[in-house]
Structure 1
Amino acid sequence: MNLPEVIQDLVKTQNNFDSAAYANCFSETAVVFDEGKTHKGRKEIEHWIADANERYKAVMKPLSFEEKEKEMILKAEVSGNFDGGSIVLSYHLEIADQMIQSLKITG
């Protein structure tokens, strides 16, 4: 699967539980939508992923990748400390200048 470099970095940093490096995949003004909450800016994103890493210890295994006009969609199997142990999630990404501008995670 041919993923853009920033998405490869996102997966790698998630699987290494490196919250700071994960947040650095995003622009300073990026927005993340996850579990009904919005996280704005790199600092909030770093706090969000650090908390998620602590709670879930989730790792990602990319399953498919699709590029549409305005967004890219990565489907990944996510395994960790949560009910069921694994789930397939869709990561809806907007990327500009090799940085993630927005991420919406859906089940």
Structure 2
Amino acid sequence: MKNKFQLPDVIRIHFNAANTDNPATFISTFGDNAVVIDAGNKYHEKTPIKEWSEETYFKDHLRLKITNVVKDIKGIVVTAIATGDFDKTGIPDPLFLDFHFIIIESKISLLHIVMSSNSKGIILPTPIATYYHACDIYDVSLLEECFKENAVLHDEDTDYHGPIEISNHILNANRDANVTLEITDCTNQNNVIVVAAILSGNFEGSPLPMDFHFSLDEGKIKFFKIIPNTGDK
């Protein structure tokens, strides 16, 4: 599989093996103690991962076309369009998936697969891209790393202070409302990065256009507010 993106060899081999129905090479890309998280299920070590891949990848002749690659604070996130013989009932078409990789000693240590919140491949500053990646996979430690120690979040007339309080609020709110998100735009407005997105979930008004206003300092988020996008200019 040829693509324009620069990938570590092990990830390039991983996708090539998937796209050429090569399960032996596919499983060789994982470390002995690797973990895969897919559709809320966790597979630990090679035998369960092999069984998962045979059922999920190779039985359905999964094909993955890479559309974007981002290196965040913790790992590498590859976005790809997934096609194949799997049941497509109730899922988006096309189906964009994010593959969150952590590589240790040239082997995949962790692979976490979720539906992509940035299927358009909109370029985001690294701490903001990491923010959305962490929200997608509910990784509280990764989310905390996005924020400065004195960071402030303003959301629904309430201020939250510091990485721990902010991260817990965001992930708890997302989990309670089963939030999914689609990023639609990113602009720089007087050194404030504004990310437009559509939020869907179990809340009144869903789906709802929202704007995320980020102020950055020394490569981390210092101030952050979430407001409805009313369409007013």
**TM, length-normalised to structure 1:** 0.89
From 155, 160, 167, the equivalent of 1:39 is: 160
Distance in 2 (CA, whole Å) between partners of 1:81 and 1:20 is 25
Aligned-pair RMSD on alpha carbons?
A: 1.4
Distance in 2 (CA, whole Å) between partners of 1:86 and 1:67 is 24
Pairing 1:90-101 to 2, within 5 Å after superposition: 90-101=211-222
Give the superposition deviation at 1:40: 0.7
Match of 2:227 in 1: 106
Q: List per-residue Cα deviations over 1:12-53 (Å, max 9, x = no partner).
A: 111112233222211111000001110011121122123213
| Contact 2:199 2:209 (8 Å CA) reproduced | yes
Q: Do the aligned partners of residues 98 and 16 (structure 1) sit closer, same or farther apart at CA in structure 2, a change above 3 Å counting?
A: same
From 175, 185, 190, the equivalent of 1:64 is: 185
**TM, length-normalised to structure 2:** 0.43
Q: How many correspondences in the alignment? A: 107
SS of alignment partner, residue 32 of structure 1: strand
Distance in 2 (CA, whole Å) between partners of 1:54 and 1:15 is 10
| Residue type of the alignment partner of 1:73 | V
| Residue type of the alignment partner of 1:83 | E
Match of 1:22 in 2: 143
Match of 2:132 in 1: 11
| Contact 1:15 1:58 (8 Å CA) reproduced | no
Distance in 1 (CA, whole Å) between partners of 2:222 and 2:215 is 5
Flag structure 1 segments of 5+ consecutive residues without an equivalent: none
Distance in 2 (CA, whole Å) between partners of 1:23 and 1:56 is 21
Flag structure 2 segments of 5+ consecutive residues without an equivalent: 1-121, 229-233
Structure with larger Rg: 2
Distance in 2 (CA, whole Å) between partners of 1:62 and 1:23 is 21
| Contact 1:19 1:49 (8 Å CA) reproduced | no
Distance in 2 (CA, whole Å) between partners of 1:51 and 1:75 is 21
Match of 1:84 in 2: 205
The higher-RCO structure (CA 8 Å, 6+ apart) is: 1
Q: Do the aligned partners of residues 11 and 62 (structure 1) sit closer, same or farther apart at CA in structure 2, a change above 3 Å counting?
A: same
SS of alignment partner, residue 83 of structure 1: coil
Q: State, as a whole percentage, how many aligned pairs show the same letter.
A: 25
Distance in 1 (CA, whole Å) between partners of 2:139 and 2:187 is 25
| Residue type of the alignment partner of 2:179 | A
SS of alignment partner, residue 74 of structure 1: strand
Q: Do the aligned partners of residues 59 and 18 (structure 1) sit closer, same or farther apart at CA in structure 2, a change above 3 Å counting?
A: farther
Distance in 1 (CA, whole Å) between partners of 2:128 and 2:215 is 11
Q: Do the aligned partners of residues 44 and 97 (structure 1) sit closer, same or farther apart at CA in structure 2, a change above 3 Å counting?
A: same
